[in-house]
Amino acid sequence: MTQFISDFHIHSRFSRATSINLTIQNLEKWARIKGINLLGTGDFSHPEWFKELKQELQEDGSGILKTKSGFNFILSNEVSLMYSQDGKGRRIHLVLLAPNFETVEKITKYLLTKGRIDYDGRPIFNIPCDQFVKDMMSISEQIEVIPAHAWTPWFGIFGSSTGFDSMEQAFKDQVNHIHAFETGMSSDPEMNWRLSSLDKYAIISFSDSHSFWPWRLGREATVFELKELTYQNIIKAIYTKDIAFTIETSPSYGKYHFDGHRLCNFSCSPEESKKLNNICPVCGKKLTIGVLNRVDELADREEGFKPKDSRPFRTLIPLHDLLAARLDAAVATKKVWQEYNKLIAAFQNEFNILLNVSGDDLKKVTSEQITKDILKNREGKIKVKPGFDGEYGQPILDTEEQKKLF
């Protein structure tokens, strides 16, 4: 069995708010530095990106596409569905996986009958979730449809503002074609285990990265253990929930974990929100209800419940964020890059550093304090000031500051 660290939910430079330098070459380079060995293409429906994919990637019949140097890609795309159901506006993001270029061309032909695809790598359509899945299955039952960042308020399948209360409510008679969902950065498997209705689905994690930088790419990932890397084996693993483990950031690191108002610089826990009747004490308007609150609302199990067939997960803060917190510097500064590059040169890739390298070996390359931070991170013990209303959470390494958080 070979282990494949995968990130299927990414974007090209043809999506909005993305790096202009997102190319296949840069994605491969930084995926290798990160320690990823299977990457989604993202944005396969965009005509210009699709041309590049056909030029840069080779098919061999396995459903896994390869660069000239042999790096692995899987065809993926995110779509945004915006429509009304039950008197409420819905905004749902879905990730699509496809087995080959031929299927992508059929998907694109279908999407062109519904609207434009050239303005954004993540196109928007006025199509209900159930109809969209039905139409995808009519193209090919090999297409996999995965609800993206399931809990985010505005675009998650369970989002507090535009989502649903269940998979069945969203997908109706097509729900049997849904086999997995993406946790999103503001939730982790433990939070999702609180809903018995989700037991049947594989829990997977991807980054939704808009750049190739290693503090974005692979910040969340899914690890498969396979005898042979093929599209069908990936899909089978998802169908059977045969996931080795997922890599998650702390849910507090996500941009929508707590409730709050970014413009008011106010955030709070669900318990505090209830006392405030979900009203911001600064501006008097309704708070943006975060993921933790929404999970509490829909959960039918107590915190700490663990299903018998649950898959393991690892909680990790990206190495750049960890170094930036310790060095008291911005994530992309020269000081942080110097320390990062020193570690990569010694230990090959970031995930090897975060998951495997011993403390004794780390201390030969970096400081004792950074070594302690990496080992503490490996144990999921880095505390994070919770993110809210579009603001990322902040790793806190100072002991006194940590005491103030919890």
User: For residue range 104-135, what is the model confidence (pLDDT) as tens digits?
Assistant: 999 999 999 999 999 999 999 999 999 999 99
pTM: 0.95
Q: Mind spelling out the 3-state secondary structure of the chain? A: CEEEEEECCECCCCCCCCCCCCCHHHHHHHHHHHCCCEEECCCCCCHHHHHHHHHHCECCCCCCEECCCCCEEEEEEEEEEEEEECCEEEEEEEEEEECCHHHHHHHHHHHHCCCCCCCCCCCEECCCHHHHHHHHHHHCCCCEEEECCCCCCCCCCCCCCCCCCCHHHHHHHHHHHCCEEECCCCCCHHHHCCCHHHCCCEEECCCCECCCCCCCCCCCEEEEEECCCCHHHHHHHHHCCCCCEEEECCHHHCCCCEEEECCCCEEECHHHHHHCCCECCCCCCECECCHHHHHHHHCCCCCCCCCCCCCCEEECCCHHHHHHHHHCCCCCCHHHHHHHHHHHHHHCCHHHHHHCCCHHHHHCCCCHHHHHHHHHHHCCCCEEECCECCECCEEECCHHHHHHHC
pLDDT in tens, the chain (406 residues): 999 999 999 999 999 999 999 999 999 999 999 999 999 999 999 999 999 999 999 999 999 999 999 999 999 999 999 999 999 999 999 999 999 999 999 999 999 999 999 999 999 999 999 999 999 999 999 999 999 999 999 999 999 999 999 999 999 999 999 999 999 999 999 999 999 999 999 999 999 999 999 999 999 999 999 999 999 999 999 999 999 999 999 999 999 999 999 999 999 999 999 999 999 999 999 999 999 999 999 999 999 999 999 999 999 999 999 999 999 999 999 999 999 999 999 999 999 999 999 999 999 999 999 999 999 999 999 999 999 999 999 999 975 555 555 5
How confident is the model over 37-47, as pLDDT tens digits? Answer: 999 999 999 99
Q: What domains are defined for the chain?
A: 2-252 (3.20.20.140), 318-381 (no CATH)
